[in-house]
């Protein structure tokens, strides 16, 4: 599995299991909820976006997960 595929899968997992709603996560990370959703779309027909490393760190912090775990390290 590629780093991008792992990131998309783990981000979706973290979002689905978080006690926080997407709006709160987005606010804490400093990104829009639409941007975060585009990184791990639910539909297989949508092509996920690839974030910058800064976005990965910010979103991981908002979710309370290790950014390296999101990247598969």
Structural domain for 8, as ranges: 3-71
Nearest of 16, 37, 17 to residue 26 by alpha carbon: 37
Q: pLDDT by residue (tens digit) across 24-33?
A: 999 999 999 9
Q: Per-residue pLDDT tens for 31-65? A: 999 998 888 877 777 777 788 999 999 999 999 99
Domains identified in the chain, total number: 1
Helices (DSSP H) in 1-73: which residue ranges? 3-17, 22-29, 33-39, 53-63, 67-71
Across the range 10-19, mean pLDDT stands at 91
CATH number for the domain harbouring residue 63: 1.10.260.40
The pTM assigned to this predicted structure is 0.84
């Amino acid at each position: 599995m590629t780093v991008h595929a792992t990131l998309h899968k783990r981000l979706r997992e973290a979002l689905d299991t978080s006690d926080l709603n997407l709006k709160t996560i987005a606010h804490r990370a400093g990104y829009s909820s639409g941007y975060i959703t585009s990184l791990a779309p639910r539909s297989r027909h949508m092509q996920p976006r690839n974030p910058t490393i800064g976005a990965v760190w910010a979103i991981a912090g908002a979710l309370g997960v290790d950014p390296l775990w999101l990247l598969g390290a």
